[in-house]
Structure formats: structure tokens, C-alpha cells
Amino acid sequence: MAETSFDLIVIGAGPGGYHAAIRGAQLGLSVAVVEKDDGTGIGGLGGVCLNWGCIPSKSLLKNAELVSQMKEADEWGFTFDNFKADMGKAVDRSRKVSARLTQGIGFLFRKNKIQLVKGKATLKSSTQVEVEGGDTLTGKNIVIATGARARSLPGLEIDGQSIITSRHALELRDQPKAIAIIGASAIGCEFAYYFNAYGTEVMMFEVMEHLVPKEDEEVSKELERQFGKQGIGFALGAKVGGVEKKGKRLVLKYEEGGEAKEFTCDKVLLGVGVQPNSDDIGLEAVGVKTYGPGFIEVDGFMRTNVGGVYAVGDVNGKLPLAHVAFDQGVLAAEMAAGHEAQPIDDYASMPRCTYCNPQIASIGLTEAQAKEQGINVKIGKVPFAVAGKSVAIGDSDGFAKVITDADTGEVVGAHVIGPEATELIAEIGMLKFLEGTNVELHRLTHAHPTLSEVIKEAGAAVTGEAIHF
């Protein structure tokens, strides 16, 4: 008979959950993970991230990048006839990538002697978890890592056929002629680039005044310029009214600048945020506090108001990013093990990435936020063209922008839009972690030729010392 008593029970095997489980096992705890996988894309080893989110979408975006480059084959000296890009095969490749990584999580569970229990979990008390159709597990500590799911809009209810989410888009093997994408944050922009690369007519709708509205305004404007060049349409400050079916197609009604307009398409993709998977898991019975649409309240150590119960990842609503869930899961496990730990309370210093082309990455404050806080702002901004490698690889659009406190030299924010921005931001993250200034950034020798030279030059530009700009 399988064990039913553990030091740590984790509900959910997504990014936060599996990190909590593995870290707990490393610290000598007996660990069980309860995972619901009903085929909806909410569950499975690795959660949404590995199965229906971060990983498969990046696989598809790589395909889109290659397709885009093939459109300029002549510039690269390539000549061929009858080029064809098969979206279905791109989807097949993405599923193989996901399968490989989820199998890896299974291996790590076995390696760390973590018991995986399949089924729907319900809290019965602060120490007991009932598994539907199975045993009731007892744990000294419980970590809730049930994640979140896409939400509908009034008049735009998700049906998986006409009104879809990113989860459905990841399985879409038949290319639509036209698609409407509602919401211009990371998910919306990534799928806009993907579909556009394959030749689908794309129209984005954003209620705010810019694409990626939470990014620095200069980044938003640069993305709008580059998306416009790629042929991606967008309506900003737009209010979407609803959708009507006309024959086999859809007519999306919206208002832009006070004028009523329509867009005819085959699919409508919603990318307007998430709702937590906190319903129907027994929170009320145990007395766990929630806020907003059901996000679980936690402190800096991921503790809920109920002793021994923690919540990590998207379900706590702090910052719905996989890498944030990674760190929260580790912290919760360390707390459960009585390990000395530091709280997570500076979410502004978590990197934020968008993987369309151009890539976008940011950390810390935007220029507007820094000024609102009364910081004496000093900025270094240089175009990617200062890095010779960006010109050599044919990708020199975009820029790097470093925001500092002129009184202390502290880097309070950084914003990059251009090739491999999502990789380059890590350097700024380490600099902020070590409380460095722009001086360390530009005095550090960077290899040449590399894209990272744009970061060095941006740091130098703060004090007017950039050599190539």
C-alpha cells in the first residue's frame, strides 16, 4: 500500500509545484504531489508552462522565426522553388518538445523519491488532502500550486472553436485566413507574430493606448513600429463589443476613436489575463483567505493565513510568470523544512519577457514609474546597431535602455527590445541583485562581437561615455 502520510504535500505539478516538491525532497522531507490532468490543459506534469504555455509556444515561435527568414531568402543568398511552411508540422514539433520535458519532470520525481498521486485534490483541513477516487493524504505542510486559467470577456465566451485561448492556438493545425487577437500583452504579441509569419491576417485589439502597455513607453512605440513593418494590424484604445457569426466567418465589432468598426476573421484569440484555479479545492472549509477573483493571500514567505499552508505561482496572483513560481516554490519548501530563508517582496526586480520578434525584456522600473517615485533619473539608451554582431546577423533594429538614479548610480530599471533581449536581461538582473551601478556595467569587459555589447554601451551612455554612439 502506498504511503499516505508526508512531511509535505504539494497540490499541482506546474512550475511552482514541482520546484517546491524537488526542493523539499532535497531538504530531507517526504513529499507527495497531487496532480489533476483532465486533458483541459490545466494539468499535467510541468503544468501549463511545459504542456500548453511557455515551452510549446517558444517552439512555435522558433518555427515562425525561420519562416520569416525564408521570406528574405534572396538577401541571404538562398534560392529555392515552391517553398511551403506547414503549420501542422510546427505544432507536431512543439508537442514533441513538451513531451520530452514533461518526461524529464517525471524522472526528477523518481530520482528524488517524490510520490506522484494522480487525481483532483480537495483540502479537508490544514493537514489533510482528499484525492478524488483515492486516499486521503496527511501532511505536516501543504503547498497549493494550482495555477490559473485564461478568462473570458462578456460577449466573448471561450468555446475552443471560434473564441479560443493560447492553449487552443497551440494545437491549431489549420491556418486561419484572419485572426483577431484581443489583448496586446506578452501572449497576444507572441501569437500575433506567430500567425503573421505564416501569412495569416492579424489584427490586435488593446484597450490601452499602446501595445505591451506595461512596458516602458519607448519600448511600446518601437514594437508598434516594427509590428507595423511586418504587416501586423492593431487598434489601440479600442473597445471590443462582441462577435457575430456570418456564414463560416466571424465579425468582431469594436470602437476606436469613437468610431464603430468591424473586423472579419476566422478565429478570435483572447489574451486578457487569467483567473486563479482556487475554486472547488476546499479553501473555504479550511479558512484560507483570498482576494479579488480568488487569488490566495500570502506573505513574503508564501504563507497563507492558515498555519502550515502555503500558496505559490499564479494562484497567489503576485506575478503570473513561471520563473516567479520557480522561486516561490523553492521558498515555500524551505519554509516547510524550517530552513533559513529570505522573503520575496521585490517583484519589480523580476525579469519580464515577451518572445515575439522583436523580443522584449525588462526589469525594474519604467522611466515613467521612476519619475513618479521622485527618482532623479539619468538614462543611457543606445540602438542595437552599436553592436557589430547585430548588423552581421541582419537584426539591428531596437535598443537597450538603462535607467539609473543619478544621485546614487543605482540601476533602477532596464528595457531591451531587439535580438535575444530575453537572454540579455539576465546581466542587468545580476547587476541589480549585487546592487551594482552603471559603472560596473560598462567597465566590465564584454566579448566582441556579441549582442551583449549593447548592454555595455547603454551603461556607458548614462555618463556620456558610449564609444559607438
Instruction: Find out whether the peptide bond into 320 is cis, omega within 30 degrees of 0.
Output: no
CA distance 444 to 194: 36
**Per-residue cell: 370:** 521612476
Q: Are residues 202 and 181 in contact, defined by beta-carbon separation less than 8 angstroms?
A: yes
The neighbour count for residue 94, using CB atoms within 10 Å, is: 22
Reduced to 3 states, what is the DSSP secondary structure of residue 265? strand
Q: What share of the chain is helix, strand, coil (3-state, %, to 5)?
A: 35, 25, 40
pLDDT at residue 202 greater than cutoff 80: yes
Q: In what helix (H) or strand (E) does residue 240 lie, and over which residues does it extend?
A: strand 238-246
Please state the rounded mean pLDDT for residues 237-254: 95
Please state the rounded mean pLDDT for residues 331-340: 97
CA distance 54 to 62: 12
41 or 441, higher pLDDT: 441
Nearest of 420, 415, 351 to residue 379 by alpha carbon = 415
**Per-residue cell: 369:** 514609474
pLDDT at 42: 54
Which of 9-23, 147-161, 182-196, 307-321 is the least confident region? 147-161
Based on the number of CB atoms within 10 Å of its own CB, is 380 exposed (0-12), middle (13-18) or buried (19 or more)? buried
CA distance 75 to 167: 35
**Per-residue cell: 412:** 533602477
Per the residue annotation, which of 168, 323, 415, 448 is the catalytic one?
A: 448
When pLDDT is cut at 50, 70 and 90, the band that residue 363 belongs to is very high
Percent of the chain with pLDDT over 70: 99
CA angle 427, 429, 435 (to 5 degrees): 105
Reduced to 3 states, what is the DSSP secondary structure of residue 285? helix
pLDDT at 366: 98
Active site residue 448: yes
Q: What b/e string do you get for 425-435 counting C-beta neighbours within 10 Å, with b at 16 or more?
A: bebbbebbeee
When pLDDT is cut at 50, 70 and 90, the band that residue 3 belongs to is confident
CB contact set of 61 (below 8 Å; sequence gap of 6+):
190, 193, 194, 355, 356, 357
When pLDDT is cut at 50, 70 and 90, the band that residue 416 belongs to is very high
- 223-228 contact pairs (CB < 8 A, 24+): 223/189, 223/356, 223/358, 223/360, 223/417, 226/358, 226/397, 226/398, 227/189, 227/192, 227/193
What is the pTM assigned to this prediction?
Answer: 0.95
15 forms bridges with which residues in the sheet?
none
Most confident of 37-41, 116-120, 287-291: 287-291
When pLDDT is cut at 50, 70 and 90, the band that residue 1 belongs to is very low
When pLDDT is cut at 50, 70 and 90, the band that residue 80 belongs to is confident
pLDDT at 43: 62
pLDDT at 292: 95
**Per-residue cell: 225:** 513600429
The neighbour count for residue 260, using CB atoms within 10 Å, is: 10
Output phi, psi for 382, to 5 deg: -135, 150
CA angle 352, 191, 206 (to 5 degrees): 75
Please state the rounded mean pLDDT for residues 149-154: 89
Q: Are residues 239 and 209 in contact, defined by beta-carbon separation less than 8 angstroms?
A: no
pLDDT digits (tens, 9 = 90+) for 162-193: 999 999 999 999 999 999 999 999 999 999 99
Q: Which amino acid makes up residue 278?
A: S
pLDDT digits (tens, 9 = 90+) for 381-410: 999 999 999 999 999 999 999 999 999 999
Nearest of 322, 321, 299, 293 to residue 311 by alpha carbon = 299
Q: In what helix (H) or strand (E) does residue 222 lie, and over which residues does it extend?
A: helix 217-230
pLDDT at residue 320 greater than cutoff 70: yes
- CA-based R_g, the chain, Å: 23
DSSP assignments along 304-348, one per residue: -SSTTEEE-GGGG-S---HHHHHHHHHHHHHHHTT--------GG
Q: What is the mean pLDDT of the chain?
A: 95
When pLDDT is cut at 50, 70 and 90, the band that residue 82 belongs to is confident
